[in-house]
Structure 1
Amino acid sequence: MATSGIENSSGKAGEGRVKNAILIAGPTASGKSALALDLAEREGGVIVNTDSMQGYSVLDVLTARPSAADLARAPHFLYGHVHPSTAYSTGAWLRDVMKLIDDGVLSGRPVIFVGGTGLYFRALAEGISEMPDIPQRIRDRWRYELKEQGAVKLHQILMHEDSRVAMTLKPTDSQRIVRALEVLDASGRSILEWQAARGQPLIDRNGAHFIVIEPDRAALVARIEARFDQMLDKGALDEVRRLAALDLDADLPAMKAIGVRELQAAMAGNMGFPEAIERAKIATRQYAKRQATWFRHQLGPEWRRSGTGDETEVI
């Protein structure tokens, strides 16, 4: 069975292949992208997206991807390269990073990983479990079953086929239920067995710089609210219209980007735009709080904590 492990084309594990990496984590709107760009310009480095939502196309503005002016200042990779119809995963992102390494585009210069997705940073620094390749016919089958039968029925099927996994999942957790069924169908093995085998870290931990931005809460809230207003001015509504025109499954990750459901509801006349905007801002604040909590409890002592994101403070 072919797997999606982090091995390069010669079959050697990817451990430590990225030397002197700089990892910059932080909640949304914390200023981490600006810091990464300043460092990339100063050090002649490249920037690699480490945020799950910024990898999707269509949602340029609503996911706060770097602007055209920012992209012109330093090389950026893995931004907007995934169609919203794809359920992009941590494993898929790690494979994309490995391809950048194999293609030589990260060689000979500092590599700055920046974003807000904690699992991506954990995969870089600790490695992740290998998973089987899922044939498209199997992927399509279980997505069809989800649409026809619903998550609760699929949870019952999983309980019969792999009760250990099913008991760890809520009956409404459609994405994880489908993933567990896909893995079982494709490999004949429980997803728990695959998860038990840890992969290898991709970066050289000894030479890496670990930075997590922890901004003042009040200042962060103000930035979140001002930024969402700017997103609306820059065309966020048009992006939501283009996304809606694709007629995608509402359970896909891209469809859950903050602001999509709220603005869609306003466009459909189900609520006023002021209410939709306020709800999106509240959702963003809640998301930033969850990110900050995860970083606080899940990132180890090697991570340098910065309150401002000022490069003179963190480097």
Structure 2
Amino acid sequence: MSIIDPSGLPRLALIAGPTASGKSARALELAESVGGTIINADASQVYRDLRVLSARPSAEEEARVPHRLFGHRDGALACSAADWAEEARVEIARAHEAGRLPILVGGTGLYVRTLLDGIAPVPDIDPAVRAIVRAMPVADAYRALQDEDPPLADRLHPNDTTRVQRALEVVRATGRSLEDWRRATRGGIRASVSLLMETIDLPVAELYARCDARVDRMVEDGALDEVASLIARRLDPDLPVMRAIGVAQFGRYIAGKSTLEHAVAGVRQATRNYAKRQRTWLRHQH
């Protein structure tokens, strides 16, 4: 496959799908067949601390074709969507220069949207406002968002902690809805590439079974040791790496506050919930 389409635009492939859908295997298959470079677009897989919990590609898989932006950032350094988008633009350009097809793979919709459509120019959030919002239980934050930004609250799942908190802190700190800021986005690359998008959409029962099996493999592959090592670093609990699925649940088990059976069940449920949100987001993109 030529990396330039008939109109003269460089091609960019995107393999998208929810957690445990097999998108990484598909990206590897495509990269080997056309000469591609796989670029991570998963918010958890950027952290070197989370190889097991984020199901990053194995060393053997990474050796088969070039992989970029996997495990390249220390967990103490938060990676925003804007940070990732800037790094991804660099890696996409390098792949094109090397005559390879850049292949984004992942399920973090905010990352992909920021790269393609640009970043909303939201001012820095007042730390005092952020601290208050982040300390709120998600149910309380969602009720507050319903009062302060009803249209956006209607679009979010009440249990989506990250997005609910972000929406609430923005409207409180700036007096404007996050959706207003998003309409003023800038810096996207969509118009400068020819996007080839492939979405993996499995039946729900199969997807959930894969999610459960993935969690079981994580335990077998050393997830508990990984979480113990991460907790031992005593990082800020608000860092993204500390909020990854599995850290809190397995952390409670390690601290003697739950059974392993209860921890595994909690990670399974959280993984299924996340996969469902990713699946819904992808369908809305089409």
CA distance in 2, matches of 1:196, 1:115: 24
Structure 2 regions of 5+ residues with no counterpart? 1-6
1:174 offset after TM fit, Å? 5.0
> 1:53-101 deviations in whole A, cap 9, x for unaligned?
1112201010011110111011111111222233322111111112335
| 2:95–2:102 Cα contact (<8 Å) kept | no
Q: Counterpart in 1 of 2:35?
A: 44
1:252 offset after TM fit, Å? 2.2
| Equivalence map 1:26-65=2 (5 Å) | 26-65=17-56
CA distance in 2, matches of 1:75, 1:181: 43
> 1:140-193 deviations in whole A, cap 9, x for unaligned?
x659x828x9559xx9xxx9xxx97799789x95555666788x6xxxx99777
Structure 1 residues 205 and 34, CA gap change in structure 2 (3 angstroms) = farther
1:200 offset after TM fit, Å? 4.2
| Equivalence map 1:270-289=2 (5 Å) | 270-289=257-276
CA distance in 1, matches of 2:75, 2:171: 21
Pairing 1:225–2:216 present: no
Pairing 1:249–2:240 present: no
| 1:18–1:202 Cα contact (<8 Å) kept | no
Letter in 1 for 2:108: T
Letter in 2 for 1:44: G
| 1:46–1:106 Cα contact (<8 Å) kept | no
Q: Percent identity?
A: 40
SS of residue paired to 2:105: strand
CA distance in 2, matches of 1:190, 1:286: 26
Pairing 1:268–2:259 present: no
Q: Counterpart in 2 of 1:5?
A: none
CA distance in 2, matches of 1:96, 1:270: 39
Q: Counterpart in 1 of 2:188?
A: 201
| 1:151–1:177 Cα contact (<8 Å) kept | no
Q: Counterpart in 1 of 2:116?
A: 125
1:230 offset after TM fit, Å? 1.1
- 2:285 is matched with which residue: 299, 302, 311? 299
Larger radius of gyration: 1
Structure 1 residues 221 and 151, CA gap change in structure 2 (3 angstroms) = closer
SS of residue paired to 1:271: coil
| 1:85–1:252 Cα contact (<8 Å) kept | yes
| 2:9–2:192 Cα contact (<8 Å) kept | no
CA distance in 2, matches of 1:18, 1:58: 37
Q: Counterpart in 2 of 1:87?
A: 78
| 2:92–2:102 Cα contact (<8 Å) kept | no
The alignment covers a number of residue pairs equal to: 265
Please tell me the root mean square deviation across aligned C-alpha atoms, in Å.
3.5
1:242 offset after TM fit, Å? 1.2
Structure 1 residues 18 and 100, CA gap change in structure 2 (3 angstroms) = farther
Structure 1 regions of 5+ residues with no counterpart? 1-15, 301-315
SS of residue paired to 1:240: helix
TM-score w.r.t. structure 2 length?
A: 0.78
